Each structure stands twice: as C-alpha cells, then as structure tokens.
Amino acid sequence: MRCAVIGAGSWGTALGMQAARGGHETWMWDRDADRAERMEAQRENRRYLPGASFPPTLHVGNDLDRVIDGAELVITAVPSPHVRAVVGSIAGKLRPGQVICSASKGIEVGTLETMEQVLDEVLPAALHGQVTALGGPSFAKEVAQGLPTAVVAAGRESWACHVVAEALHNGFFRVYSSDDIVGVEIGAALKNVLAIACGVSDGAGLGTNARAALITRGLAEITRVAVARGANPLTLMGLAGLGDLVLTCTGDLSRNRRVGLGLGQGQTLAAVVEGLGQVAEGVVTARSAWALAQKLGVDMPIGEQVYRMLYEDKPVYEALRDLSGRERRAERD
C-alpha cells in the first residue's frame, strides 16, 4: 500500500521507517522544505534519529498535498497543538477509503478534546469511521532500531484498524486492535503527565517506593478520566494504559520524565524545555488534563500537582506534602 506520515519528528520518522520496512511506499511530510530535502538526500533524520538509515521505500517531501495523494493510510504525527490546523488544511483533499491514524498524543487546550474529537471536527462526516488512534509503549528510537515493540490501533471500524496493522505490523513490531478509541487516546495523552510526576520524584531523590506509588495511583487517575469519557476500564490495563505508563515513567528515553527530572533537581521549566530540544507533550497536556478532570468532576490529585508545579511554580516538596497529606480513603474509591 501507499502510506503518508504527516510530521517528521522522532515519532513520525520512526513510524515512517516502520511502514517502509514492510515494503510499503511511504512519504513523510516536514513543514520545513530545507529539512525535508536534507533528509531525502542524507537518507536519515540526523536531527532526531541520527544513525537510523531510511529504508529504500521511505521518502520525504514538503508538499503536503503530494505526500497524501493516493495514500491508503495517513498517519498524523505532528504535536497535538498543531493537529487541528494541519489536518484541517487537507481535510477537503482526503477521500473515502483513506484511513487516518492519529499518532499525536494529547488533549487540546481550550476545547479539552482528544485528537479523535479534533479530527472529527475538521474532517467531513463521511470520513469519521476511518479515524483511528495508535497507542502503547513505543519509544521512537527503539522503533527506528527495529527493537521489539507492541502497540494498539483503535477505531470505530475494525477494517480501519486492520489497515493500520497491515501497514505497520512487521518484523518485531506487533499491532493489536481495539474498538475503544477513547480509552486508547486518554491513556496515551495522560501518561505523559504522570511521567513528569515520576521524573520530579526521581530527580528529588524520593526513592523507588514513591515512583511505584505514583505509577499505580496515576493509573487510577487516568482510568477515572477515561471511564468518565466513556472508555472501557480494561483498556487502561493494556498497552495504551499500563504499558505506556510504565515505559514513559521509567524509561531514560522519555522526554516527559526528563522534564520532571530537571524540575526535581531544581531547574526551571524554561531551562529544562530549552535543554530538551524537542516537544514534551506532557507539559501542554498537564494544563488541559487538569481542566478536563475538573470539567468531568474527576479526582486527579497527581495531575493537579503537576499542573501547579508547571504553571504556578509550586515547589516540589510542597506538592509532595499536599499529596501525602490528603484524607485517607479506600484504594478502589
């Protein structure tokens, strides 16, 4: 098949490489024409994934219309704040039969919508059944290296999930399917916020007991939000929930965890983000996740403290004190 990937960051590049490894003609779009030309000439993304050579069937271009033309699968991998504008610009050019897979992870600030909801708003109604979402524990660098990875593709229509799996399921990369797109998207977005919390804890030297508690109670928070949005709670026990949460909260390649590490070590958010050099989706999502929890009437104490550390400059130990000092309650409440 022919595949298109919108966005040439580390994750978009890794997915483009994975599709191309299966022998599919794959085009990747970069908004910067010079960068696109360099990647095509150098046959690698030296900015984000240096040393990972492109398969012969992967190409890079700056003409978005050309990139998506004739593609049976269109993967969106731009940062979540840009999904509405970028996909909206091509909505009229997508056709019935083209599957749209959201690999962008986040909740839109202001609207508090998941990427699926954003896509439903900008795409014609006839294409809504073709929208899918990809989630699961998958660092871009390891995918680009061809290391074993398992993800889940979720959508309303099983045939659309099958198209995603057909494009990406090869080598050591496994693609499972799900009909719970809400659960997969909420899990994929909110785990980034919890990864910041775990990074803060590790950076402040609070120990592995604290990290385990944050992961476990963080999963409870994510599940509460997802269920309030209509998700199946079992989805959050799977790849897009527990799997992605554990990876992002403990892995050294996690950008969101690195943001938390810096904050826990006393750095300012501005300094941490500047040193990172890439987008950490959890920084933006922390604001929208806390607002969404309030809107849904869902208890999200860890998410609240991450928000207050990021946007109200709340000291780490004050956040810890407020978390630890909460009223006792039953675990399953």
Among all residues, which ones are annotated catalytic?
A: 191
Structural contact between residues 106 and 100, judged by C-beta atoms closer than 8 angstroms: no
Q: What is d(CA 107, CA 110) in angstroms, rounded to the nearest whole number? A: 9
Entry field: residues in the chain: 333
Q: What is d(CA 210, CA 40) in angstroms, rounded to the nearest whole number? A: 45
> Which residues does 87 contact at the CB level (< 8 Å), separation at least 6?
6, 76, 100, 118, 119, 122, 123
